[in-house]
């Protein structure tokens, strides 16, 4: 049995990394997949073709998650194309690291807008559709850094902690309409985002992980499948950490 058969899912930031793995796992599990990207146009187009090979409906949208009007347009276009919205995965994210002493206002605002404001944009825009349907699963991508902070990432940590408060509030507001909202908080996952880190820093992270290795984007995607599917239908308002035991 496929866990997401017939569900229509929208995943932001899926041209690469964790979002791409989620899009592929969702297609494998029978979901129809809409996804977004911003700068990686070729990768986005290639993914649309790859997803169609699973025999599901797939469509990539070039859309800036940090822009409210664009997010509203995206939800309208998605619902027109797919007919309903069953799973919304707010995954798009960036880093612009630096110690607070050296962090510019722009570095702070950019990360808050792409990582946190985007979650408001998409969730708010999707709200009416989800409430009419009286069903839906929202999954928001936070981070271990949002749970415990990290030197050099005050902007990123604030955005990821904000996602947790936002999601818990949405879960309280929309639960009576059978709409669930949960957070995934990954630890250290091998993607382009972490690929830019100094190898020494990577070694330090790995040493601090009880399972002694970085996570894979596919492992985060497995969790997204569970939270998007009816296997988790009594789970809402939760932060699920996936980090090899790092934050224990």
Ligand X SMILES: NC(=O)c1ccc[n+]([C@@H]2O[C@H](COP(=O)([O-])OP(=O)(O)OC[C@H]3O[C@@H](n4cnc5c(N)ncnc54)[C@H](OP(=O)(O)O)[C@@H]3O)[C@@H](O)[C@H]2O)c1
Contact predicate 26/33, CB 8 Å: yes
E-only strand ranges, 110-247? 136-141, 179-186, 239-242
**Binding of ligand X by 130 (CB under 6 A):** no
What is the biggest distance separating any 2 CA atoms in the chain, rounded to whole angstroms?
A: 53
**Binding of ligand X by 173 (CB under 6 A):** no
**Binding of ligand X by 10 (CB under 6 A):** no
Eight-class DSSP state of 61: E
**Binding of ligand X by 34 (CB under 6 A):** no
Query: Nearest distance from residue 224's CB to ligand X, in Å?
Result: 10
Q: Angle between the 17-28 and 41-52 helix axes, to the nearest 10 degrees? A: 20
CA torsion sign for 112, 114, 120, 123 is negative
**Binding of ligand X by 40 (CB under 6 A):** yes
| Cross-strand partners of 242 | 186
Q: Look at phi and psi of residue 71 and say left if phi exceeds 0, alpha if psi is from -120 to 50, else beta.
A: alpha
Query: Nearest distance from residue 232's CB to ligand X, in Å?
Result: 19
State phi, psi for 242 to the nearest 5 degrees: -135, 95
Contact predicate 10/89, CB 8 Å: yes
Query: Nearest distance from residue 130's CB to ligand X, in Å?
Result: 20
Contact flags string 178-207 toward ligand X, x per CB under 6 A:
--------x-xx-xxxx-------------
The stretch among 38-46, 53-61, 103-111, 227-235 that binds ligand X (CB under 6 A) is 38-46
The single residue among 8, 9, 10, 17 that binds ligand X, judged by CB under 6 A, is 17
The stretch among 11-19, 45-53, 80-88, 102-110 that binds ligand X (CB under 6 A) is 11-19
The stretch among 16-24, 120-128, 169-177, 228-236 that binds ligand X (CB under 6 A) is 16-24
**Binding of ligand X by 66 (CB under 6 A):** yes
- Residue 217 structure tokens: 């984007």
- Residue 59 structure tokens: 């469509």
**Binding of ligand X by 93 (CB under 6 A):** yes
Catalytic: which of 54, 68, 156, 234?
156
Active site residue 156: yes
**Residues with a known catalytic role:** 156
Site residues for ligand X per CB under 6 A: 12-19, 36-40, 64-66, 91-94, 114, 141, 143, 186, 188-189, 191-194
């Amino acid at each position: 049995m496929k866990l997401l058969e017939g569900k229509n899912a929208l995943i932001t930031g899926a041209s690469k990394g964790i979002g791409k793995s989620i899009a592929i796992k969702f297609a494998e599990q029978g979901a129809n997949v809409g996804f977004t990207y911003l700068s990686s146009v070729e990768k986005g187009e290639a993914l649309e073709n790859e997803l169609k090979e699973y025999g599901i409906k797939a469509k990539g949208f070039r859309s800036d998650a940090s822009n409210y009007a664009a997010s509203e347009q995206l939800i309208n276009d998605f619902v027109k194309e797919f007919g309903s919205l069953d799973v919304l995965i707010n995954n798009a994210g960036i880093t612009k690291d630096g110690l607070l002493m050296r962090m510019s206002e722009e570095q702070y605002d950019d990360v808050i807008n792409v990582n946190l404001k985007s979650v408001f944009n998409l969730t708010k825009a999707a709200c009416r559709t989800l409430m009419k349907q009286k069903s839906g699963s929202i999954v928001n991508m936070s981070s271990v850094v949002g749970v415990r902070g990290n030197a050099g990432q005050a902007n990123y940590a604030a955005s990821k902690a904000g996602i947790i408060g936002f999601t818990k509030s949405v879960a309280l507001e929309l639960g009576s309409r059978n709409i669930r909202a949960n957070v995934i908080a990954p630890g250290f996952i091998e993607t382009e985002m972490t690929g830019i880190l100094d190898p020494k820093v990577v070694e330090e992270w790995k040493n601090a992980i009880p399972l002694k290795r970085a996570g894979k984007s596919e492992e985060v995607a497995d969790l997204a499948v569970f939270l998007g599917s009816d296997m988790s239908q009594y789970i809402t308002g939760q932060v699920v950490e996936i980090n090899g035991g790092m934050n224990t």
